[in-house]
Amino acid sequence: MRAVVPVRPAPGRAHPPPPALATPRAPHAACTPAAYPPPAPPVRMGPMASYRRDLAVRAAVAQGLLTPESPVVALLDVAGIRASAAALTSAFAAVTRGGVLHAFAVKACPLVPVLRLLADAGIGAEVASPGELALARAAGLPPSRTVLDSPAKTPAELREALALGIAVNADNLQELARIDALVASAPTASPLGLRVNPQVGAGSIGALSTATATSKFGVALRDEGAREAVVRAYLDRPWLTRLHTHTGSQGVPLTLMAEGVRAVYELAEEINAKAGRPQVDTLDIGGGLPVNFASEEETPTYADHARLLAATVPGLFDGRYRLVTEFGRSLLAKHGTVLARVEYTKTSGGRPIAVTHAGVQLATRTVYAPEAWPLRILAYDSEGRPRSGRVTVQDVAGPACFAGDLLAAGRALPLLHPGDVVAVPDTGAYAFAHHYAYNSLPRPAVHGFALADDGAVSFATVRAAQTPAEIVAEAGGAHADALVR
Ligand SMILES: Cc1ncc(COP(=O)(O)O)c(C=O)c1O
């Protein structure tokens, strides 16, 4: 990390000496105390994630990142992100003889320093909008490590990507016709592919299931005449060398993902047989590895996924094909934590409620669809020490002005008090980086953290907190008279 601000416990605030790194203490015990899982194995780079997080919470309070005036902040565990990137790389290296580009799905955590960190760990970028492309470029990702997918690319976006030499996956045959015209008008170094929908079915979350019979993504391969049209499209375009699929994300079983990949592999084999040459040389198999939101355990693992893929589609790994992957959630989710102060506590209808500063603005999916997106809550006292005390069923509410703004309803936790800190782990993807501006609540600051060998925590600013002036500017402040002229 550059621009690291070393943060050690402030004088006068007793910070317990860190235990030896090889013998991390038991994980935070505030959440679901009866069913707390055994400690997860330590990540290779150091102490276990929960131990690192506990130290970071304490340091965030001690060093003034979380105060009564700035009552919410998000943290990213740099060692955890690096460990996940390394696990992804080694899992696929262990099963394939071909080359692999792991392209992080920028949508999962669209923060430039995160993309730079991942690039430093050998991970590229999958972008799905001009904004995401701009973020990847700002992070220094070269075109050769960038892939553009999206279902609604404009001619201008396509032209820019082809001029840069970025890999592009067309979503449909109309888009392919647009690319025909662009390829004819100017030479491009972009590897080009087509997304297909293997129509293998849905997972448990409909909104994230992209391989349903009627999904909006890709060419629906099992529709009448579609397969023949796709094969013809390749035979007519010698420059079309990639096939792309993404079966879905959280909630999609690994076996279904493997079936999707098998379908696309079989299509590649058919095209290459008909072309009489290995025209399709790269399969982009998307992302989607689910994340365990119920405990510290990182499961399923990349190794589980890669082994299942290799067993289901052995021909894909024998060296004839290059692979592209597009994992997002599984690289970041476990390494992000929101910290929020408890402003007030009350009871309503006999139910204790802690009113905090973390809610719908940071965990939008959880608030609107709590069954599909449950999050753990960890309780700390006002100094950032794991809170002990009587476990009580209570609600953990956010600051927004609607009744459903709850991060957890009826959750058994040590009874929270005003000034306490709640931590919301597993929010590194599709959460605090995806601010929802309800009530004009500000985007909180995001800090990366790292531990020195002696347990001292240093923080680096990833994103500054949004100011009231910035909120006004984004809300048309420069055009205040626009409607009364
Ligand atoms: C095309 C594509 N690739 C990759 C991803 C990343 O999925 P995940 O974050 O579940 O790994 C998505 C998610 O929507 C996607 O649409």
Whether the pLDDT of residue 409 is over 90: the answer is yes
- 249 CA: nearest ligand 1 atom: 10
Least Cα distance to 243 among 211, 209, 216, 279 occurs for: 279
Dump pLDDT digits (tens) for 273-294. 999 999 999 999 999 999 999 9
What six digits make up the tokens of 259?
A: 């079936």
Cα of 168 from ligand 1 centre, angstroms? 15
Dihedrals phi, psi of 407, to nearest 5 degrees? -85, -25
Judge whether residue 458 has pLDDT over 60: yes
Question: Mean pLDDT over all residues of the chain?
Answer: 91
Asked if residue 300 has a cis previous peptide bond (ω within 30° of 0), the answer is yes
Confidence of residue 27 (pLDDT cuts 50, 70, 90): very low
Give the H or E element holding residue 185: helix 173-185
Active-site amino acid positions: 401
Q: How many Cβ atoms are within 10 Å of 253's Cβ, its own excluded?
A: 15
- Asked if residue 174 has pLDDT above 50, the reply is yes
208 Cα nearest atom in ligand 1: 14
**What mean pLDDT do residues 95-116 have?**
97
Query: Which of ligand 1's atoms lies nearest the C-alpha of 287?
Result: 11
The reported pLDDT for the residue numbered 46 is 45
Q: How far is the CA of 247 from the centre of ligand 1 (A)?
A: 9
Q: In three state form, how does the secondary structure of 307-320 look?
A: HHHHHHCHHHHCCC
Q: Residue 94 — very low, low, confident or very high, per pLDDT cuts 50/70/90?
A: very high
Among 47-51, 264-268, 401-405, the least confident range: 47-51
Query: Which amino acid type is present at position 228?
Result: E
Distance (Å) from CA 328 to ligand 1 centroid = 6
Query: Could you tell me the domains of the chain?
Result: 5-10+28-36+43-77+333-471 (2.40.37.10), 80-331 (3.20.20.10)
Q: Strand 72-77 relative to strand 336-348: parallel, antiparallel, unpaired?
A: antiparallel
Can you name the residues that pair with 153 across neighbouring β-strands?
none
Please determine, for residue 25, whether its predicted confidence score (pLDDT) is greater than 50.
no
Give residue-wise pLDDT tens across range 345-402: 999 999 999 999 999 999 999 999 999 999 999 999 999 999 999 999 999 999 999 9
Please list every protein residue whose CB sits less than 6 Å from any atom of ligand 1.
105, 107-108, 126, 149, 246, 249-250, 286-289, 326-330
Q: Is the link from the previous residue into 39 a cis peptide, with omega within 30 of 0?
A: no
Q: How many CA atoms lie within 13 A of 140 on its CB side?
A: 9
Report the pLDDT value the prediction gives residue 207, as an integer from 0 to 100: 87
